[in-house]
A and B are shown apart, each in its own frame.
Chain A
Amino acid sequence: MGCALLIPFTFGLPPVQGLLMLLGIFCGGIYGGSISGILIRTPGTPSAAAATLLDGYPLSQKGMAGKAIGMSTIASFCGGTTGAIIMTFLSPQIAKIGLKFGPPEFCALAVFGLGMIITISGRSILKGIISAIFGLMITTIGFDPLSGVPRFTFGSQNLLGGVTFVPALIGLFGYAQVFRNIEKILVLPPVKSKVENILPKFREIRSTLKTIFKSALMGTFIGSIPGTGCDVAAFITYGEAKRSSKHPEKFGTGILEGVAAPEAGNNAATGGAMIPMLTLGIPGDAVTAVLLGALTIHGLQPGPLLFRDHLDIIYPIFAGMIMAQFILLIVGLSGARVFARLINVDRRILTPIIFFLCVVGSYAMRFSFFDVGLSLIIGIIAYFMEYYGYPVSPILLALILGPMAEQNLRRSLIISHGDPLIFFTRPISTAFITLAVIVIITSYYRIKRAAEREAHRISIDRERDEKNEETEI
């Protein structure tokens, strides 16, 4: 959104400066969105930070907001730099892989991504799946580009475009958080953030390095597939980090790896998303679509010829992407102390401010009061869902991947004349479906076993406590 708002300001600037400004906003926005995600459980950037808050917010509730921001800064820096370097040296090669993705591959990728529901469901996988199905149902609202028919709009023009992302996000996280704050405004003592503890210790960073670099590579690749961006990268890397972790049960309770993985993934995806945009003129995600427009405004047509005719633009873009990561590191680490203090502000003051920002945010996206009402309704639903233990993150994942899965499923079947074998006769799509099945099954068992272990330990502890009590008596 930042990019879209600031495009007009870049009009007067020379092309390179204007583009670099937008690139800076792009990278900075993906990183910065996580700060509000960590502190107030409301992602500042649509979608990209929604996976970060799963562990970031519990961390800040434990008084470790500074550490969480520090970790997210370092992971963002590592991820972003990896993505930018890969973009600089391998763009044309990676773009070729991206082209191999047709409708069946996109559908298989979306199914693979939806498999992550298992890992972000929290305590009850069944409730997570119910949430996800609710999300998938929401995505069917609106004009259907495949059949040309409006679905579930009840004749409302406002619903023709479907439930858009920003109001949904503000409702699911922002408003829901406001309501929860109101509920316990006088009951809970305020969280004291330990401000002295800003930087994660070297030991802690080292233990997450493997996660960071794996996530960075995955993020770059996911970003480079046309049509999938930072949001998908964040969820898939989070899911993978949890699945392959030695202690999956700790994810969601506030651990640093849970912040590091999605942050490295989504920042790496910024570099990845630039690849198809620059080499083929195909936007990798919504923000690069705006960048594409900016290039055209400056009289440059992105595409294969850009690399031949405009190296004077391409090289500064590469250099700028890498520079942006360093600036982000400096700003993030020096600001973490200030940001972390925000959590110490009295809830009675903070809550109305968040509420106000939610109203402004949902209105400003398209100057629409309908969106304000819509996000408020979604907020109320989300509040009660969480109250009864239904996690809201699967809804978000469904909103991101639902249309991709549905449209490409139907598109594939149109191409194959209704023959479902199309998904299994093509190597990439077969690979993703197999992976999806493996990931779903292994994460299910790993998480279940970890939960059982946890339950077992608790019961042993309890027995021991009881025995101790007996002996004391």
Chain B
Amino acid sequence: MSAGFPAKDIILICPWSAGGSTDTISRTLVKNAKKYFGVNVNVVNKTGGMGAIGMGAVATARPDGYTVGMITFQLSTYRLMGLAKLSYRDFSLIQLVNQSPAAISVAADSKWKTLKQVMDYPKKNPGIVTVGHSGAGGAWHLAIASIATQNNVQFNYVPFDGAAPTRTALIGGHIDVATTGIDEMLQLYKAGKVWILAVNNLVRHPLFPEVPTIEEAGFPNPHPILDWRGLAAPKGVPKDRMEVLIKGFKKCFDDPEFRKLAKELGLPLVYKDPKGFEEFLKGMEETLEPALKSVGLLKPME
């Protein structure tokens, strides 16, 4: 243990609002933090600016180790889309918490039963198949767009504001296909309301063992775009304190209660240490750049 750190409660800034999934994950993660840090870790929601306000607040916080924060997928796109001068380079990374793959789903009564049928149809009828996703430039938009571009398929993209309205539109029959996080479809899938054609990942999802990967469905995609969440501290936190944070949060991450919740949510937990996390984020930007370009949203900032 580093001398005297932590001597007071640690603040964990969540850039998304209370009750959302990032908030749920943050709060469950630090529920038993006292056991591992000796102090409490308190979640504070600092929302707005599509997460840029909260993540920016972490990046510019006093680097004494008492302020850390959740960073999420959007951090990979701010700079590339010209939204904010913020990227993973502005943080001391602590760890990766989870990676969620996209699910490509249709309503249960859809005429299409395989991804191949969906991808073949627009070849003869370009732009007819409507694909709903949860917002332009979001992980799920880019995930399907990059698959479509790689295979020369033209979809008619219908952006919604979040996963919930996308789901509603799919089961209401207002769109043909939806891309969302696979965990976001868990309930509707179990209830037999939607049919998941493929999971956009290299491996199958433990809660959806019968859903094929994108490659098994016939469309190999070695660098799938994944949604991710992780923990980070401001740059400049003393090394010994970073050690304490990294070790402590790893223990929180291994806490059985946190594991149990993640399993129920269908959230695939993936741990990466700071170095591995940095490599992952670097690779993510490299994958995102062409994907953003293909949908005309690439406006990199200096």
Contact = CB atoms under 8 A, between A and B. Distances in A.
Nearest to B190: A305
Contact of A280 (B27, B168, B174): B168
Contacts of B28: 297
Interface residues of B, number: 58
Contacts of B173: 99, 102
B175 A157 contact: no
Interface in B135-171: 135-137, 141, 156-161, 164-165, 167-169, 171
B168 A226 contact: yes
B19 A99 contact: no
Nearest to B187: A303
A54 interface: no
Interface stretch (A36-44, A123-131, A288-296, A315-323): A288-296
Interface string A419-452: 0000000000000000000000000000000000
Contacts of A415: 130, 156, 158, 174-175
B211 interface: no
Contact of A296 (B135, B137, B265): B265
Contacts of B190: 305
B168 A99 contact: yes
B192 to A, nearest CB: 8
Interface residues of A, number: 55
Contacts of B297: 148-149
B59 to A, nearest CB: 11
Contact of B49 (A158, A292, A411, A417): A158
A302 interface: yes
B287 interface: no
Given A282-B168, A304-B187, A299 B49 contact: no
Nearest to B261: A299
Interface string A169-203: 00000000000000000000000000000000000
Interface string B180-216: 0000001110110100000000000000000000000
Interface string A279-315: 0111100000111111011010111110000000000
B19 A414 contact: no
Given A4-B45, A99-B172, A226-B165, A296 B21 contact: yes
Given A102-B169, A289-B19, A305-B190, A411 B53 contact: no
B159 A411 contact: yes
Interface of A: 3-5, 7-8, 11, 98-103, 143-150, 157-161, 164, 226-227, 276, 280-283, 289-294, 296-297, 299, 301-305, 366-368, 407, 411, 414-415, 417
